[in-house]
Amino acid sequence: MSPKQGKALFLCCPLGTSLQDEGRTLGAHYGIPRSGAMDLYSYQWANHLLQNSNEAAALEMAQPGLKIKFEEPCIVSLAGATAFVTVNQTPILNASIISIASGDILEIGAFRGGARLYLCIEGGFQDEKYLGSRSDFKSITTSSKRSAGETLYYLPIQNKAVLWVKPKWSTNWFESKEIQAYPGPDWRLLSTGQQRLLLKQLFHLSKFSNRMGIQLEELVANELEDLPTNPVFPGTVQLTPGGKIIVLMRDAGVTGGYPRILQLTEESQSRLAQKKAGDSITFHLLEPKFES
Amino acid sequence: MKPSYQIISPTLGELVWHESPSDELLSMQLSYLTHIQSNYLSTLVEVRQGFTRLSLVWKNSSSQLEFIQLVETLNLVPESLPKKVWQVPVCYSSEYGQDLESFAAHKNLSPSEVIQLHTKPCYRIHFLGFLPGFFYLNGLSPTLHLPRKRVPSPYVPSGSVAIGGSQTGIYPSESPGGWHIIGKSPLTFFDSKKTPPVWAKPGEQIQFMSISSSQLENWQDEDSKNFLK
C-alpha cells in the first residue's frame, strides 16, 4: 500500500459488517454469487453525495456498534438506516456528509429506522478487487466480514467541495409495506387460490434473515413438485415444499431447485433490505412493461 | 429442442426447454450459450445456466426485445460435448462419510455396493451453482436416489461427497447441507487464487475413484497434481 493512503482502524466491529459495492457479475459460471450492497439504492446515494464513482466500496452495517478511527483526514457519507452517530463522542445531527480530521473516531449507535447502514468514503475504501468487485464473500475474498483490529485503506481527500452540499434524504421510501414483484418463472404452477393468497396476505419477516435470503413467517401450503435446479437471482422469491417463502438476497447461490414464484424489482429489494424481523410486507404484482 | 423465451422482468428472461436434463439438452444449451456470448456480450449483464434454462440479464429492456425477435429465427446445431473425464479420488468410509452406513441401510445395500454403484458412471457436469465450485452432475444411478434429509446438517466439511434426491455432488467448501454424506475427496474444488478458480467446466465429465483412509490422510499436493491434469 502506498504510504500516502489513509488508514481506518476498526476499534469495534459488530457482526454483519462487510465491505460492499455493486457486486460481481463475472463469476456466475463458477457458482460465485452476485453479492454487493443489500440496499443498492442507499449505497448509491451515499456514493453520489461524495461524487464517487458507482463502484466505490462502502461499509455495510446490519447492527450498531461500529467504532472506527481514521488516521488521515477524509470525507465520509452515511445513508440507509438512520442511526445515532458521534465523532469523538460528539453527536452529529443529520449525519449525511461528515468531514473527518486526523485521529477522529466515528461511532455508530442505535438504529432508529431501517436495518442497513452504509458508510462511504470519498474515493471509496481501497481493497483488492476479485472478478471486478470488492464485495466481501466467504471463500473468495480474504475476509467474508470485517472485525475489530483490522485496517482498511483510503485515498487522500480529492474534492472538498462536496462538503458544501446540503443533501436532503428521506427514509419514507423504505417505510412503505409494498413490495413490487414480477411473476417468477414458476408463478404459473401456482393455483389461482395460492396466487390470490400471496397477493392479499400480510407477510412478516422472520428472524431467519441474512445476506443470502430473508425468510417470511407465514406459510403458503402447496403440493408443487421438485423442479430441476435452475438459475436464481437476488430478488427471486422461492416457495419450499414446506410452504416457506424465501426471498433470495445478494449473497444467494446462483441456482436453486425450489419453485421461483416471484422476482422483486431492484427498488423493492432495497426496500426489503431495510426491513427488520417482525416488519410486515405485501406483494404487489407487476407486468413486465417495456419502454418504447 | 428449440427453446421458448420467457420474459420475467424488463431486463430478465430465460430460454426454456421442457425436456429432462440429458447430454442432448446440454449440447443444445451450450450451443445457445456460445451463440449468445459471441453475439450479445455487449448488451448483457450476465448469463446463468441451469438444467433446463439459460437465464439472461440484459443491460436494458430494448436489448431484450431485440433478442426475442431474433431468437425465433435461430437454427442452432447442438455443440459436441468435450471428451475430458476427470478422475476424482474419494475416500468412502463412515469416518469421512458420516451417512454412508445409514444411506446404505436405507437402500438395502451394503456400503461396498453403494461405492461400486457410485464409482461406476461418468457424471456429466452441467453447470456450477449453490456454492462457488459446486458442480451439478447428471448420471447418478436410480438405485442410489434418496430424498434429502428432513433436517439439514448445520455443518458439512469441504470435500464431502454426497447424494441428495437424484443428484450427487461435492461440497467445495464447508456449508450447511441436506444431502447424505458418503465420502470425502482430498482435491480442492475452488481456489480463488487460481485463474480460473475451478479446474473443470460444463460439458466435461467426472468419475469417482475409491481411495483408502490412509491414502486420504497422507494426501500431498503433489498427488492432487497427478489428478488435475
Q: Which domains does chain B have, with CATH numbers?
A: 4-71 (3.30.1360.40), 85-227 (2.40.100.10)
Q: Most B CBs within 10 Å: which of A212, A230, A289, as the mutation test of the B interface? A: A230
Q: Quick one: average pLDDT of A150-155?
A: 94
* d(CA B183, nearest CA chain A) in Å: 22
CATH code, domain carrying A194: 2.40.100.10
Q: What percent of chain A has pLDDT over 70?
A: 97
Q: Most A CBs within 10 Å: which of B55, B166, B195, as the mutation test of the A interface? A: B55
- Taking an 8 Å cut-off on Cβ atoms, the answer to whether B8 and A263 are in contact is yes
| Among chain A residues, CA nearest to B129 | A31
| Among chain A residues, CA nearest to B127 | A29
Q: A134-148, A239-253, B186-200 — which is least confidently predicted?
A: A134-148
Q: What percent of chain B has pLDDT over 70?
A: 100
Q: Quick one: average pLDDT of A223-244?
A: 93
- Taking an 8 Å cut-off on Cβ atoms, the answer to whether A228 and B165 are in contact is no
Instruction: Give yes or no for A132 touching B (CB within 8 A).
Output: no
Predicted confidence band at A4 (pLDDT cuts at 50, 70, 90)?
A: low
Residue A161: the pLDDT is 81
- Helix, strand, coil percentages (3-state) for chain A, rounded to 5, are 15, 35, 50
Please give the tally of structural domains in chain A.
Answer: 2
Answer whether residue A1 shows pLDDT above 60: no
* d(CA A289, nearest CA chain B) in Å: 6
Residue A291: the pLDDT is 58
Instruction: Give yes or no for A226 touching B (CB within 8 A).
Output: yes
Over residues A176-226, the pLDDT tens digits come to 999 999 999 999 999 999 999 999 999 999 999 999 999 999 999 999 987
Answer whether residue A2 shows pLDDT above 60: no
Residues A229 and A128 in one domain: no
- Taking an 8 Å cut-off on Cβ atoms, the answer to whether B192 and A141 are in contact is yes
Instruction: Give yes or no for A229 touching B (CB within 8 A).
Output: yes
Residues A99 and A42 in one domain: yes
- The rounded mean pLDDT for chain B is 96
Residue A290 included in any domain = no
- The rounded mean pLDDT for chain A is 93
CB neighbour class for A52 (10 Å; exposed up to 12, middle 13-18, buried from 19): buried
Residue A290: the pLDDT is 67
Answer whether residue A243 shows pLDDT above 70: yes
Residues A128 and A190 in one domain: no
Answer whether residue A292 shows pLDDT above 70: no
| Among chain B residues, CA nearest to A285 | B9
Residues A16 and A158 in one domain: yes
Over residues A76-111, the pLDDT tens digits come to 999 999 999 999 999 998 789 999 999 999 999 999
Residues A135 and A239 in one domain: no
Residues A160 and A246 in one domain: no
- Taking an 8 Å cut-off on Cβ atoms, the answer to whether B20 and A228 are in contact is yes
Q: Find the CB nearest A254 among B6, B7, B48.
A: B48
Over residues B152-166, the pLDDT tens digits come to 889 999 999 999 999
Residues A166 and A247 in one domain: no
Domain containing A114 equals 6-172
